[in-house]
Amino acid sequence: MSTFSTAPTDPTIAICVPLEAELVAQIQRSAPGATVLYDAGLLPPERYPADHHGDPDFRRSPEQEARYWANILAADVLYGIPNESPADLARAIRENPRLRWVHAMAAGAGGAVRAAGLSSAELSRVQVTTSAGVHALPLAEFALLGLLSGFKRVAEMQADQQAKHWPTLRVPTRLLAGSRLVISGLGEIGLETARLAKALGMTVSGSKREVAPIDGIESVVDNSGLPGLLAGADAVVNTLPGTPQTEHLFDAEMFAAFAPGTIFVNVGRGSVVDESALLAALADGTVSYACLDVFEQEPLPAASPLWTHPRVLVSPHSAALSAAENKLIAERFIANLARFRADEAMPHTVDPVHFY
């Protein structure tokens, strides 16, 4: 166990998720007066880099469970949501009156905060920040993978390869250069996707909650304005978080606004897409290819037609993962810790009303 002494006036930080010891030490070095509570024996081992849940077979003894929660209930700051559980987030906030800040590992931690069922007073007392932005580049690269796969007919080529079929007529592919992309959600992930898409010659438009011009983006609308953009789009990438306002935003009516043959990529949240409406759009050719990293229900049920659809790529919500993720999240936390200690506003704080 590594516990670092501090003056009582400095924050006590409890690390609630698996983290490499060198990153724990980096957090401590960044705030010499703080107390960092970290006990690797109380945390489930990672199965892969940045596995914040850890091994699901891990179990604490009653004594270990008591020590885990003693650290949480002694902290001013939590690094990670306890056990990555909304119920345990609620417990930590309700049983620890000194708690003021929780830094979540996920970019879309608003869903967990909403699921915790916290009161307005609890939400006003404890700030929850997310790791939004850390995942922007890997998600943007995955979105480009989806666009390229759709434009270059990768699914058809794979089917021909498996059948050992050499088509009599060669079928042309589509160019990203000169094509039109619509991004629903021009936040950090959306803007990084736009940057990469523009580098390949695409023209980009999209939606944002607060409409304002963005350099390099042809047209910016709010979500109600999306249908007006879709008819002219060759491809659509969703990056929106799951909120009550975005629930089934992509429904039958929204897909009906698509131009025939649109490529669709979802790296936002599965709740944003009505999967039955997406399947109907795939069936009638409105969507020619779908690349999906997120789903309405996860894990994706074995009975879902998406598993075997010939023009769908299923990713098990892993597109954001990278070997550098823990390091990038720790650096984000360290930057926010300096702001927290100076009583300054921290970026990427979960909105306690809209939960994103």
CB 315 within 8 A of CB 292: yes
Task: Retrieve residue 322's tokens.
Answer: 């990278």
Q: Which is it for strands 35-38 and 2-3: parallel, antiparallel or unpaired?
A: antiparallel
The residues near 165 (Cβ < 8 Å, ≥ 6 apart) are 159
Four-point Cα dihedral 332, 49, 56, 294, nearest 10: 70
Annotated active-site residue 98? The verdict is: no
Instruction: Dihedral sign for Cα 322, 327, 333, 336, please.
Output: negative
DSSP H or E run through 38: strand 35-38
From the list 269, 309, 311, 348, the catalytic residue is 269
Residue 114's Cα: distance from chain center in Å?
A: 15
How many residues does this entry show for the chain? 356
Annotated active-site residue 248? The verdict is: no
From the list 218, 247, 298, 339, the catalytic residue is 298
Task: Retrieve residue 253's tokens.
Answer: 């009516």
From the list 317, 331, 341, 354, the catalytic residue is 317
CB 267 within 8 A of CB 139: yes
Cα distances (angstroms) measured from residue 310 to each of 88, 147, 197: 40, 16, 25
Q: Give me the residue label for tokens 């659809």.
A: 309
Annotated active-site residue 247? The verdict is: no
Q: Which residues are catalytic?
A: 269, 298, 317
